[in-house]
């Protein structure tokens, strides 16, 4: 099973934009993720088609299981 941390932000135009991190630390806390999201907004280091990131929408860890049937 693989996991991905998704941090979802709103941009200047009110649309959502997601930043994803593969294999997050299992000990990650909501407070730590919120601090990172605040830093991303404050530093304004990502450009989106809808303008600057201006707000936090949510953070979530998505789990995915892949069953390989064969490799060729």
pLDDT in tens, 40-60: 999 999 989 999 999 999 999
Q: For tokens 């407070």, what's the residue?
A: 31
Residues in a beta bridge with 9: 17, 56
Question: Model-level pTM?
Answer: 0.86
Instruction: Give the HSE-up count for residue 58: Cα atoms under 13 Å, Cβ half-sphere.
Output: 3
What pLDDT is stored for residue 66 in this prediction? 85
Task: Mention every residue, 6+ apart, whose C-beta is less than 8 A from residue 26.
Answer: none
At residue 1 the predicted structure's pLDDT band, cuts being 50, 70 and 90, is: confident
């Amino acid at each position: 099973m693989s996991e991905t941390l998704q941090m979802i932000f709103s941009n200047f135009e009110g649309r959502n934009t997601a930043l994803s991190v593969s294999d997050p630390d299992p000990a990650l806390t909501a407070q730590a993720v919120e601090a990172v999201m605040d830093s991303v907004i404050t530093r304004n280091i990502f450009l989106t088609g809808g303008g600057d990131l201006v707000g936090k929408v949510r953070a979530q860890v998505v789990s995915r299981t892949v069953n390989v049937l064969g490799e060729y």
